Amino acid sequence: MVDSQYYLPNDIGISALDCREAFRLLSPKEQMYAHYLSRASWYGGLIVLIQTSPESANIYVLLQKMFRAQAPQQLETAATAAGLSAEEYQAFLVYAAGLYANMGNYKSFGDTKFIPNLPKEKFKALVWESLAFKQSPGDMEALWGCCCESLYSLEDKLKQLGLGEKGISAYFSGNCCLEDAEFAQKFLDSKNLSAYNTRLFKTEIDGKQCYEVRLASAEKDNCAVEGKNEVCCGKHEFEDAVFSVKRGDYAFLMEKVCQNLEKAKDCAANDNQKRMLEEYIRSFTCGSVEAHKEGSRYWIKDKGPIVESYIGFIESYRDPFGSRGEFEGFVAVVNKAMSARFAQLVSSAEDLLPELPWPPAFEKDRFLKPDFTSLDVLTFAGSGIPAGINIPNYDDIRQTEGFKNVSLGNVLAVAYATQKDKLTFLEENDKDLYIKWKGPSFEVQVGLHELLGHGSGKLFVQDDKGKFNFDQTAVRNPETGELISSWYKGSETWDSKFSTIASSYEECRAECVGLYLCLNKEVLSIFGNEGEDAEEVVYVNWLNMVRAGLLGLEFYTPESKSWRQAHMQARFVILRVLLEAGEGLVGLKECTGADGRPDAVITLDRSKTYTVGKSAIQSFLCKLQVHKSTADVEGGRALYEGYSAVTADGTHNFLRLRETVLLRKEARKMFVQANTKIKDDAVELVEYEGSAAGLIQSFVERFPDDAEKVEAQLLEMTCMDSSCWC
């Protein structure tokens, strides 16, 4: 038996995302706009296969060929003939669904590898028995040969994503380590190039280190041409190495993205949308992050659209160095009733920001009121679907021009529904409260986290011309009382400075803001929570956070002493802070469960939330902000990594608790998404059942016009780089 954390259980939750009513209410032009944006997103989403692992695209193509020839129900006959039991065939379907849902064979939430929960020889027997194999035995045997070893391998380095000996990453060639990532960042900073849309490949020529920086773009021409001169393609001597900057990574897929964005442009509702799409197309054509930033500026100006979307290399959680963005694209429809609450929160933001526990000088000079909408997702292409988003991630835009917040309503509706018998680590009397108030409390937390968490706080910057955005003769560090002595210089950004901890640190800061401000009666009232109901929302929000901190231990790897998931590391840090506060605020004890196996119970003293709890979060949140504002990497790392440490020492044996958490973990849900297609000049919504078979069928029908060409290109891209991870 393989450790259960490396496979997906047969009874994993799979839910269909319901967007039928939202889509029906769109006008024909809006439906067409949403359709082409969705097409662009789905093509771009395939890039994640290439970004995740060297074998992901090969496995994807193998599965697509099998299911295109036979739907899951038909393939079951072949499975029986190949000697698979019903449980083994279900395990095969769940694995396939997992690969599609995560866009690769590593979990999008936690970054651990998952392998099929059936013997390798049974998987092979099914491939050989399939109609796809009978139609093209040579191709299918070659495909199996390409991926059969890596499909099942749980070699230590392959168990999780990481850099160097800590794991595998397709953002870097296999011979790169942390020092290479740091060195490349220095080079990129010197050329004022963003790492967001890049990958890094290292070779050695005549004893000299040579690095290839690949830019994602439809165009492969590396010459400087008009409108593209901000991307410095070509060779560059840098210190004792040579860097070569090249266009054309994922060129075929980037071109498909651009073609569909062009078609969407014809259905745009206004000039902001048109100019936004023009800039995205320019960015994806020539590999310019500056063009994507320009598109993001128009996106911010497009206030209150009926169809909301965003696309590009966005989140850097899965880059082990924290600078490269994973491709994602989403298309969603505004839920007007829920959006009204978020709009009220935005209106109250300027009154709430001064409540945060840092001096006024550490807050942005003015609050740029963003759009904050609740959306029903039509399409979310990438490795996973979040509950809420605050974008763009470009600090210079967020600081001075603004941002948008979205809460994904139809995701929240199904993602966090919990059955009482599967609810772990809580006392019985807390379980009913938790189930009743988890939804309302999470709605409040997401709103505060995205708007006033990610949307707050100033970065102190000295630009290329030497100009400061703060008074360095007056602003003092509230922790020491001394004048500020460090700040961001030139092209330095939050991500480039704080690199490996940037994502988790920022999620922790936003989560703390949510905990801190949910104690505010005005905030609770905005979300319709008054009196005793409001108190229950606060209690369950804080209880959920400390429980999540305990659950976070699943995402820690003791062998490499590393965390694999930014949000869960953040929640563990908060648990540590609240345990350290003492006075009985949080209780955590190990015990034996009713089943005779190790268990644990976590409790929260609600009478101390507004005193001991608030004081602890207030102090910690101020420290987080000061280190962030002042670019104090050393101080920030010491603080954050100190609380992130998972040891057997002290009051709680967290390494032993981790084993208990793994023993009782529940697999994260997967989502089935609809497709859209044009029939008789109108757009139709095609829905699927919430099951492994439904999820598989949705992907089989996702690329009706050119599936084989897409798959051939994926194989070509994978083959071209295969030697980089040998």
Ligand-binding annotation for 292, yes or no, is no
Measure the CA–CA gap between 622 and 253, rounded to whole angstroms. Answer: 44
Query: Hey, what are 471's tokens?
Result: 């008074």
Q: Please give the helix or strand (H or E) that residue 144 lies within, else none.
A: helix 137-152
Active site residue 511: no
Please name which of 676, 503, 668 lies closest in space to residue 41, comparing C-alpha atoms: 676
Which is catalytic among the residues 76, 308, 443, 450?
A: 450
Query: Hey, what are 177's tokens?
Result: 């380590």
Measure the CA–CA gap between 373 and 404, rounded to whole angstroms. Answer: 8
For the chain, report the end-to-end CA distance as a whole number of angstroms.
Answer: 27
Q: How many alpha carbons fall within 13 Å on the CB side of residue 287?
A: 31
CA angle 422, 428, 434 (to 5 degrees): 65
Query: Hey, what are 465's tokens?
Result: 């011309």
Yes or no: say if 48 and 123 are a contact pair by the CB < 8 Å rule. Answer: no
β-strands 241-249, 208-216 pairing: parallel
Q: In Å, what is the CA distance from 244 to each residue of 173, 187, 230, 236, 725? A: 15, 11, 15, 6, 20
Measure the CA–CA gap between 541 and 557, rounded to whole angstroms. Answer: 27
Instruction: Assign 3-class secondary structure to 192-256.
Output: CCCCCCEEEEEEEECCEEEEEEEEECCCCCCCCCCCCCCCCCEEEEECCEEEEEEEEECHHHHHH
Q: Dihedral angle at the C-alpha atoms of 546, 552, 553, 559, nearest 10 degrees?
A: -150
The reply to whether omega before 392 is within 30° of 0 (cis) is yes
Ligand-binding annotation for 454, yes or no, is yes
Residue with tokens 């909408």: 373
What residues are annotated to the active site?
450
Annotated binding site for Zn(2+): 449, 454, 507
Annotated binding site: 449, 454, 507
